Chain A
Amino acid sequence: MHDNIVIIGGGIAGMEAAKALLALGHTPILIESAPTLGGHVGRWHKLFPDLTSARELVARLRSEIVGANIFLGTQVISMNRLADGYSLKLSNGIVINASALLISTGFKLFEADRKEEYGYGVYDRVITNADLEDWFSGADDARIPQQPQTVGFVHCVGSRDLKACNGQCSKVCCATAIKQAIEIKERFPFARVYCFYMDLRLFGKKYEDFYVNAQRDYAVQFIRGRVSEVSETIDGHLQVKAEDTLSGKPLKMQLDLLVLMAGVVRNTAVQELTSMAGLETDSDGFLRSRDNEYAVVESGQPGIFYAGACTGPKTVPETIAEARSAALSIHAYLKTL
């Protein structure tokens, strides 16, 4: 068996863990179902709070893990428990016996069309945070007007919402909305930009500065009320309705573009894998850690570890820190065998 370590999921968590394991003298096997590494971050344009390039982060990580065995476009199709590890069969026919597994299968972005009242996929001027990142990166998007006068951001789309079967806060979207609002203002300085929020959760390093920045330097307007519905006017504008809870009045307004902050939900694509591995789901729908305070990177199964958003929404630095922590835990675990 030679202490094979298999990392399932090649987003930033899996890549960083591979890098850390290489540094500890191991040669991890990294399996990614998509044709490229990088996951969600690989699709993002810039990261908060310093507006660093997401693609550069992914490219750097990629260059740092060339020593690992990487299988792209590959899935685990079956898994068996051995006396001292796991036997995995991959979709390319290869069978691997592994002493340790790292689950870094990440999250899924909430499918915004499921919140029908917001009209994603129905109205021409409604996009998601991910669509906007694609556009920032240079992709064409006919839904984004040449010179929008008014742009709205809806926080908590598919998060904190029992109707969407997703009660938890996605944690990253308040800061993402502010980041994207600033980026929109930089491209369209004359546009009026509004964020519709229920609570602003700006807990991380420099996030509050980011918020002040958006208010003071970019004149982003914050409206405390959840958008209840969106409709289209005859001339193709959007009409949104919310309660402005701070003034206690119903509010409506016309917008040229609406950006939905689609939330972080559990990755259902790996449900089969996790049930084969005997991994439990926590009450929030994400994978259950052995201990949510002290052993987040450990699963309940021997030799199976976690890193990143498979256990819940995480920021980039949190994910990187967990990946390193998981690599160390795996290194220590292998010594006990």
Chain B
Amino acid sequence: MTDFGFKLSKSSTIDLSRVELDRFEELCRQEPGAKVCIGCGSCTASCPAGRLSGMSVRKVLLGLQRGQKVNDMLQCCMLCGKCTMVCPRGINTRNLILTICRIYD
């Protein structure tokens, strides 16, 4: 085959019609708070692990709904609960994180 000098790179587009959401739906059943995040970032800003490791409850929740891997982030969580205290939607983020770990092991 003729080499035209360029190769196909993986598309960075999120193909939402191909994202698997079964586990996210299971997560919502076990922790309904997963559904009501407004992406305000309070959790991220208050997270003592976030500055170093990139841990962000907001990004985890968004990532799961966009078919991205989030396990690296979750590993850095110390379950300190600061994010639970600041969340304006009253999400039980610690329980959320634990439930994610169980469902997406």
Contact = CB atoms under 8 A, between A and B. Distances in A.
Q: Which range contains the number of A residues in contact with the other chain?
A: 20 to 34
A225 B45 contact: yes
Contacts of B90: 162-163
Looking at chain A's contact residues, is the secondary structure mostly helix, strand, loop, or mixed?
mixed
Nearest to A199: B38
A198 B90 CA distance: 16
Interface string A192-227: 000000110000000000000000000000001111
B88 A243 contact: no
Contact of A156 (B47, B50, B88): B88
A311 to B, nearest CB: 23
A264 B44 CA distance: 27
Interface in A238-256: 241-245, 248, 250-251
Contacts of A227: 45
Given A226-B40, A250-B51, A242 B45 contact: yes
B42 A243 contact: yes
Among A156, A160, A161, chain B packs the most CB atoms within 10 A around the CB of A161
Given A163-B88, A250-B51, A241 B39 contact: no
B42 A228 contact: yes
A226 B56 contact: no
B59 interface: yes
B89 A226 contact: no
Contact of B56 (A160, A241, A242, A248): A248
Contacts of B58: 243, 245
A229 interface: yes
Contact of B40 (A117, A198, A229): A198
Contacts of B46: 228-229, 241
A237 B43 CA distance: 24
A245 B41 contact: yes
Among B39, B43, B50, B88, chain A packs the most CB atoms within 10 A around the CB of B88
A157 to B, nearest CB: 11
Nearest to A197: B40
Interface string A242-284: 1111001011000000000000000000000000000000000
A241 B45 contact: yes
Among B42, B51, B87, chain A packs the most CB atoms within 10 A around the CB of B42
A328 B34 CA distance: 47
B86 interface: yes
B88 A225 contact: no
A160 B86 CA distance: 12
Contacts of A242: 41-42, 45
Interface string B69-105: 0000000000000000111111000000000000000
Nearest to A244: B41
Nearest to B39: A245
A309 to B, nearest CB: 22
Contacts of A163: 85-88, 90
The 6 A-B pairs with the shortest beta carbon distances in the complex, nearest first, are A243-B41, A228-B45, A162-B90, A243-B44, A226-B40, A245-B41
Interface of B: 38-47, 50-51, 56, 58-59, 85-90
25 contacts: A117-B86, A156-B88, A160-B88, A161-B88, A163-B85, A163-B86, A198-B88, A225-B42, A226-B41, A228-B45, A228-B86, A229-B45, A229-B46, A229-B86, A242-B41, A242-B42, A242-B45, A243-B40, A243-B43, A243-B44, A243-B56, A243-B58, A245-B44, A245-B58, A250-B51
Given A163-B85, A199-B38, 15 more contacts: A162-B88, A163-B90, A198-B88, A224-B41, A225-B45, A228-B41, A228-B42, A228-B45, A228-B86, A229-B46, A241-B45, A243-B42, A243-B45, A245-B44, A250-B44
